């Protein structure tokens, strides 16, 4: 196996720890001896790979080698390890997590619980009243930049270190902290109000004395809670009873798994059969529930009633559960609470919001550390040249404070104000209306993205199905020819009613003789259409729901209600099925009623056809098909109908020459195809099948296999009726938007909770996977050996999209995380289906850790919140699934297509502007520090400030702030150009606008200009030495204003105003604040006289110095634009 993966196995006995409350996939270092799996026979005994497959999510725990520890170890970093362990130990004691256990819950008796369970309250706040101030301060001062300013400001309280006035250091720092605190406080109050609203919702609790109203936060394990229609379920419950007569109800799960279709839940039979609600207290019963876990699609438990002889035992599965955060869609339900608060499935699957820090901020933080190093080195050089005389240590610190302007505090202020300005511009953009910026700290991230992880349902698609095509083999009907089908159906049933009906209530199948097993007779198109439509109308899991609009409680009506079309809605777990049934209604055959044992259809003439449901074989992701056996009550005919994916049905139906080709054609159009077939059964055939089927269902060993084998014996030589094509409508402009993002070099991964076939179909129709690309569907794997083989098979493929299910992904990540991520990152597109909310967040974290690139997650449902919060940049869409995702996101948009402009235009501008602004503010600090260094070196290395405190504050604010800040209006490319050439975005991800290279260029510029300004002032003004401050400062201000003009790429009228306003302010202060232009302290008596400023020598000498400092840079810039222009300038020219 030359192309195999070099894989390191995990030893069989390596222990694994189950994870519950962690939405992050922790990293562990494996210190096993490397041995190559390729050298083993892969399919040796299974147990070699079947490590104790414990829980939903497990990982190998690292084993740390115990090294020899001595004094050397302690000095070389051991003290850090010891301090760390002590802190971890204290933290562990303070917030020790209780081990999650299985539990026995007695109905209506919370006091019988053996353990104390968590409170049923929702808490999304980051801080409480005591931790708010320390928490916010920690978040601010963990950055080197802010910590540095704090230390410098505090040093000014020491008299011997005092350089200038206190306000010059404390005012800017206080301003930054005040703004941050206010912003955090407002966010925190909003979160608190949202939580309070959720926790104080009232519910009815059943007690021995009757109904009592309780708050959501006061619900306990063991309580019997009544939840009405359209009410949120407050905690995880077992479904005991419903007002619906059939003992089942529908719930909406869109906030849990993102799927908008309703799920059918079944009440526990024993409690549903009790005559009255109050009888729940007259029985002695308990529920045994497994320990709380992440998986929202599975549950194992038992219901036991003790007061009968013999005891009644019922097994409980996922269909008996009502998870918290879902909503009751029909009837009123009563359940017993089994998990509360932090142990509910929805909370276990939610990750907590982290404080996001932009990549640009981290880069600037690194640069400030480099500047600090330069500042310390410069100070040491100054003291060293002095010869370390006198109190040199104090002088060293004074020099550090003197050069502290190298790292300007205005950097933080300017960048924060800039971020707010970008947020305001995004929200005011008329091309993306309704966009909201919720996190103002990371707009630059929009310009640095490499991976976009998107949800499918409601994000790429509208989740609205439309029936597009019916193919009968020889004839195909599209949307424009549906009226022909309708006329055929009307005709078919007209023939039936015109025949004598022998007293039966009508509805015999027309041309019954064609269905006998005699020699085949070619059927007419009429009868073929009729059979196909009838099969589609019968073979499904759809339930019609009627609203009876009675004052008071809304109930689902039963057979005694009128079946008026406008009063009926269809519910099923699949929107495809609902659309197929709606389509049969539109052509004349209407599903009017259904319960667990029967269903009724209404013909175009108004007759009711009744069918008895004998068996249902539900759809599973393994079988990829569903079947139903019905007996028509008027004729007694038994028919087995089946529909499913073409791959599953091709071997089941009779030989034909068109199915494969037509399925391919429909798939290329982006339609979801289903093959429909039938088989007529005689009474004897059915009885024989039923006996074998019931026997298989009672077997203890291999029950699933035996049941499947019996059903398969029936699935032979079925008559192919038709092929249907349904389209899941995409959101507006999804295809061009995905194309745009792909051209911009962004890799798109689709993470969905939906089925594999559906996900693949949408990936094709949305052009997420281009037509020329192959798709590699990763086979389901359950152990290490299978994963290894499948990864090797995948490695041989080149340039193909990957489709993988959540379960297989879990196995791959457990054993071959690094190899899998490496292979997946090479794919042009990846589709992960059947993903739980936690898995979505894990995939985001994986990409961040393995690729070190910036990730963006976009979704619209509650199930996408974890993913959105884990990503570097989260975008929420306000959709049908509520506002949960958009509230948790950093940016909220109304349509998927807006993401193109958000990234290409606003992302680009925010990043480019912040990079220019950050570097310019640093340049402004470095140039004045260079001048200070030159001044000190000329004046016998005295640690005396060159400019007074007021001039320094004025320099960073009123004299240069407006022109420098006007860089936030600059743009290198027009928005239309950025959208027309998305390839320009690729340059941004390389981070070339702000790097050590560009930073060094700015350092050289600063040193050159600072040196020229100071030396120029000293050389030209030897006779009037007292005026050196005025001359050098005037030239400095002019240089800064000219440098802003040099940096700007596109002029805006506000920039011109800012330049002239700043110049005006400076000239005015020269006239009125002349006492500040002396050297050192004012007590030196060096005042500036107005008459000198207005003389020609002053003007020409200032102009000469300014010209020498700026002209070479203008010439270099001109030559660079001419001989090595950047990519964007080629386009704009």
Dump pLDDT digits (tens) for 326-338. 999 888 999 999 9
**pLDDT for 577-590, tens place per residue?**
999 999 999 999 99
Q: Are 104 and 326 in contact (CB under 8 A)?
A: no
Strands 719-730 and 461-471: antiparallel
Is pLDDT of 474 > 60? yes
Q: Are 349 and 323 in contact (CB under 8 A)?
A: no
Angle at CA 926, nearest 5°, toward 922 and 932? 150
Note the Cα 258 to chain centre separation in Å. 12
Distance CA 619, CA 609 (A): 25
The more confident residue out of 83 and 481 is 481
Q: What is the pLDDT of residue 532?
A: 95
Annotated catalytic residue, options 223, 236, 257, 455: 455
Q: What is the pLDDT of residue 824?
A: 95
Determine which of 163-167, 389-393, 598-602, 930-934 has the lowest per-residue pLDDT on average.
163-167
Q: What is the pLDDT of residue 39?
A: 38
Task: Determine if the pTM surpasses 0.85.
Answer: no
In the three-class reduction of DSSP (H, G, I as helix; E, B as strand; rest coil), residue 331 is classed as coil
**pLDDT for 185-230, tens place per residue?**
888 888 888 888 889 999 999 998 889 999 999 999 999 999 999 9
Is pLDDT of 5 > 60? no
Annotated catalytic residue 807: no
In the three-class reduction of DSSP (H, G, I as helix; E, B as strand; rest coil), residue 217 is classed as helix
Q: Are 592 and 544 in contact (CB under 8 A)?
A: yes
Q: How many CA atoms lie within 13 A of 742 on its CB side?
A: 16
Distance CA 561, CA 551 (A): 16
Q: What is the pLDDT of residue 78?
A: 58
Distance CA 915, CA 281 (A): 69
**pLDDT for 690-739, tens place per residue?**
999 988 877 767 777 888 899 999 998 999 999 999 988 899 999 999 99
Q: Give mean pLDDT, residues 145-170.
A: 84
Q: Give mean pLDDT, residues 265-280.
A: 90
Q: Give mean pLDDT, residues 935-950.
A: 80
Gyration radius of the chain over CA positions: 37
Q: What is the pLDDT of residue 54?
A: 35
- Rounded percentage of the chain residues whose pLDDT exceeds 90: 47
Contacts with 326 (C-beta within 8 Å, 6 or more apart), sequence order: 232, 233, 251, 252, 253, 255, 256, 263
The torsion angles phi and psi of 316, rounded to 5 degrees, stand at -110, 140
Q: Are 230 and 237 in contact (CB under 8 A)?
A: no
The torsion angles phi and psi of 674, rounded to 5 degrees, stand at -135, 135
**pLDDT for 921-931, tens place per residue?**
999 999 999 99
Q: What is the pLDDT of residue 756?
A: 82
Angle at CA 599, nearest 5°, toward 594 and 605? 110
The more confident residue out of 1018 and 1105 is 1105
* Nearest partner of 846 among 862, 830, 860, 834, judged by Cα: 830
The Cβ of residue 204 has, within 10 Å, a number of other Cβ atoms equal to: 17
The torsion angles phi and psi of 477, rounded to 5 degrees, stand at -115, 130
Could you tell me where the beta strands, DSSP code E, fall in 425-519? 436-437, 449-454, 461-471, 476-477
Q: What is the mean pLDDT of the chain?
A: 83
Contacts with 327 (C-beta within 8 Å, 6 or more apart), sequence order: 230, 231, 232, 233, 251, 252, 255
- When pLDDT is cut at 50, 70 and 90, the band that residue 375 belongs to is very high
Distance CA 176, CA 197 (A): 32
End-to-end Cα separation, the chain, in angstroms: 54
387-395, Cβ contacts within 8 angstroms, sequence gap of 24 or more: 394/160, 394/161, 395/943
Helix (H) or strand (E) holding 1061: helix 1053-1072
Q: What is the pLDDT of residue 82?
A: 67
Q: Are 31 and 66 in contact (CB under 8 A)?
A: no
Distances (CA, A) of 365 to 413, 699, 872, 992: 14, 67, 18, 16
The tokens for 1127 are 């990519």
The torsion angles phi and psi of 113, rounded to 5 degrees, stand at -65, 135
The tokens for 809 are 């992904």
Q: Give mean pLDDT, residues 783-794.
A: 94
Is pLDDT of 181 > 60? yes
What dihedral angle (degrees, nearest 10) is formed by the CA atoms of 419, 420, 425, 426?
Answer: 70
- When pLDDT is cut at 50, 70 and 90, the band that residue 815 belongs to is very high
**pLDDT for 497-537, tens place per residue?**
665 444 434 444 444 333 434 444 567 888 999 999 999 99
| 882 dihedral zone (left: phi>0; alpha: psi -120 to 50; beta) | left
Is pLDDT of 61 > 70? no
Distance CA 320, CA 329 (A): 15
Angle at CA 934, nearest 5°, toward 931 and 940? 140
Is pLDDT of 310 > 70? yes
Q: Give mean pLDDT, residues 900-915.
A: 96
The Cβ of residue 199 has, within 10 Å, a number of other Cβ atoms equal to: 17
Distance CA 459, CA 876 (A): 9
**pLDDT for 281-305, tens place per residue?**
889 999 999 999 988 878 888 999 9
- When pLDDT is cut at 50, 70 and 90, the band that residue 92 belongs to is low
Cis check for the bond before 310: say yes or no (omega within 30 of 0).
yes
In the three-class reduction of DSSP (H, G, I as helix; E, B as strand; rest coil), residue 619 is classed as coil
Contacts with 360 (C-beta within 8 Å, 6 or more apart), sequence order: 444, 445, 448, 911, 914, 915, 918, 994
In the three-class reduction of DSSP (H, G, I as helix; E, B as strand; rest coil), residue 246 is classed as coil
The torsion angles phi and psi of 334, rounded to 5 degrees, stand at -125, 130
- When pLDDT is cut at 50, 70 and 90, the band that residue 772 belongs to is confident
């Amino acid at each position: 196996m030359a192309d195999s993966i070099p894989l390191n196995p995990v030893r069989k006995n390596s222990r694994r720890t189950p994870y519950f409350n962690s939405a992050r996939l922790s990293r562990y270092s494996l210190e096993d001896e490397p041995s190559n799996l390729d050298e083993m026979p892969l399919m040796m005994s299974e147990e070699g790979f079947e490590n104790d497959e414990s829980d939903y999510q497990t990982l190998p725990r690292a084993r740390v080698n115990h090294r020899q520890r001595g004094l050397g170890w302690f000095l070389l970093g051991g003290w850090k390890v010891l301090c760390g362990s002590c802190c971890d130990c204290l933290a562990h004691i303070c917030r020790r997590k209780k081990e999650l256990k299985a539990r026995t819950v007695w109905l209506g008796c919370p006091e019988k619980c053996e353990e104390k369970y968590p409170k049923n309250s929702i808490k999304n706040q980051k801080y409480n009243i005591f931790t708010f101030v320390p928490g916010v301060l920690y978040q601010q001062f963990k950055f080197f930049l802010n910590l540095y300013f704090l230390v410098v400001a505090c040093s000014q309280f020491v008299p011997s270190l005092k350089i200038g006035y206190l306000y010059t250091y404390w005012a800017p720092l206080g301003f930054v902290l005040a703004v941050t605190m206010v912003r955090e406080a407002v966010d925190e109050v909003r979160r608190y109000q949202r939580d309070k609203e959720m926790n104080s919702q009232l519910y009815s609790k059943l007690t021995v004395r009757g109904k009592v109203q309780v708050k959501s936060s006061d619900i306990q394990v063991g309580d019997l809670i009544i939840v009405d229609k359209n009410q949120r379920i407050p905690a995880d419950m077992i479904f005991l009873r419903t007002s619906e007569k059939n003992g089942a109800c529908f719930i909406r799960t869109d906030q849990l798994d993102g799927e908008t279709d309703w799920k059918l839940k079944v009440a526990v039979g024993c409690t549903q059969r009790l005559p009255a609600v109050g009888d729940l207290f007259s029985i002695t019963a308990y529920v045994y529930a497994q320990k709380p876990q992440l998986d929202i699609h599975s549950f194992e438990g038992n219901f036991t009633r003790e007061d009968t002889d013999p005891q009644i035992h019922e097994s409980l599965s996922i269909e008996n559960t009502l998870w918290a955060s879902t909503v009751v869609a029909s009837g009123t339900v009563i359940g017993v609470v089994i998990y509360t608060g932090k142990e509910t499935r929805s909370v276990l699957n939610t990750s907590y919001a982290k404080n996001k820090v932009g990549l640009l901020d981290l880069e600037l933080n690194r640069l400030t550390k480099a500047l600090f190093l330069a500042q310390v080195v410069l100070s040491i050089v100054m003291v060293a040249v002095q010869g370390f005389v006198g109190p040199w240590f104090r002088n060293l610190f004074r020099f550090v404070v003197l050069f502290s302007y190298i790292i300007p505090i205005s950097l933080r202020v300017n960048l924060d104000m800039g971020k707010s300005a970008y947020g305001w511009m995004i929200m005011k953009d008329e091309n993306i209306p309704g966009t909201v910026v919720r996190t103002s700290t990371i707009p630059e991230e929009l310009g640095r993205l490499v991976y976009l992880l998107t949800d499918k349902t409601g994000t790429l698609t509208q989740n609205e199905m439309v029936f597009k095509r019916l193919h009968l083999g020889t004839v195909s009907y599209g949307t424009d020819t549906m009226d022909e089908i309708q006329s055929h159906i009307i005709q078919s049933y007209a023939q039936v009613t015109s025949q004598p009906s022998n007293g039966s209530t009508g509805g015999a199948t027309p041309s019954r003789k064609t269905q006998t097993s005699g020699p085949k007779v070619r059927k007419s198109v009429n009868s073929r259409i009729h059979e196909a439509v009838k099969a589609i109308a019968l073979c499904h899991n759809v339930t019609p729901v009627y609203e009876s609009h009675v004052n008071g409680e809304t109930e689902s009506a039963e057979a005694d209600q009128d079946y008026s079309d406008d009063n009926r809605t269809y519910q099923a777990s699949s929107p495809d099925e609902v659309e197929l049934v709606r389509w049969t209604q539109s052509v004349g055959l209407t599903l009017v009623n259904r319960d667990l044992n029967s269903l009724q259809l209404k013909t175009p003439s108004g007759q009711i056809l009744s069918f008895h449901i004998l068996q249902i074989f539900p759809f599973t992701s393994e079988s990829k098909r569903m079947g139903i056996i019905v007996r028509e009550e008027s004729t007694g005919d038994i028919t087995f109908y089946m529909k499913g994916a073409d791959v599953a049905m091709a071997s089941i139906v009779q030989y034909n020459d068109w199915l494969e080709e037509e399925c391919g054609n429909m798939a290329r159009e982006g339609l979801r195809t289903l093959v429909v077939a039938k088989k007529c059964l005689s009474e004897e055939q059915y009885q024989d099948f039923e006996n074998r089927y019931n026997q298989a269902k009672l077997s203890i060993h291999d029950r699933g296999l035996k049941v499947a084998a019996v059903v398969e014996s029936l699935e032979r030589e079925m008559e192919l009726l038709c092929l249907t094509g349904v389209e899941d409508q995409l959101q507006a402009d999804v295809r061009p938007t995905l194309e745009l993002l792909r051209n911009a070099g962004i890799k798109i991964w689709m993470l969905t909770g939906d089925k594999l076939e559906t996900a693949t179909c949408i990936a094709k129709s949305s052009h997420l996977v281009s037509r020329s690309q192959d798709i590699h569907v990763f086979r389901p794997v359950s152990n290490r050996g299978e994963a290894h083989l499948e990864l090797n098979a995948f490695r041989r493929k080149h340039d193909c999209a990957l489709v993988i299910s959540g379960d297989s992904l879990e196995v791959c990540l457990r054993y071959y995380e690094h190899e899998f991520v490496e292979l997946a990152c090479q794919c042009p597109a990846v589709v992960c289906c059947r993903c739980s909310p936690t898995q979505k967040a894990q995939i985001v974290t994986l990409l961040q850790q393995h690729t070190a690139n910036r990730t963006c997650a976009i979704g619209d449902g509650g199930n996408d919140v974890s993913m959105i919060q884990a990503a570097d940049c989260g975008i929420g869409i306000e959709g049908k699934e509520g506002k949960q995702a958009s509230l948790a996101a950093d940016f909220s948009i109304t349509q998927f297509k807006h993401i193109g402009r958000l990234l290409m235009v606003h992302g680009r501008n925010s990043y480019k502007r912040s990079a220019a602004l950050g570097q310019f503010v640093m340049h402004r600090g470095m140039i004045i520090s260079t001048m200070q260094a030159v001044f000190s070196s000329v004046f016998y290395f005295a640690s005396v400030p060159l400019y007074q405190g007021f001039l320094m504050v004025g320099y960073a604010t009123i004299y240069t702030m407006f022109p420098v800040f006007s860089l936030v209006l600059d743009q290198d490319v027009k928005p239309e150009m950025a959208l027309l050439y998305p390839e320009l975005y690729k340059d941004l991800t390389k981070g070339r606008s702000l790097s050590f290279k560009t930073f060094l260029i700015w350092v050289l510029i600063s040193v050159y200009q600072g040196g020229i300004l100071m030396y120029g002032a000293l050389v030209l003004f030897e006779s009037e030495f007292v005026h050196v401050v005025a001359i050098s400062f005037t030239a400095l201000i002019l240089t800064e204003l000219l440098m802003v003009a040099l940096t700007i790429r596109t002029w805006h009228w506000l920039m011109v105003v800012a330049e002239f306003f700043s110049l005006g302010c400076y000239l005015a202060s020269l006239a009125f604040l002349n006492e500040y232009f002396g050297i050192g302290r004012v007590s030196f008596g060096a005042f500036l006289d107005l008459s000198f400023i207005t003389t020609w020598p002053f003007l020409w000498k200032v102009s000469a110095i300014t010209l020498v400092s700026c002209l070479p840079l203008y010439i270099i810039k001109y030559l660079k634009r001419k001989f090595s222009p950047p990519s964007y300038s080629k386009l704009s020219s």
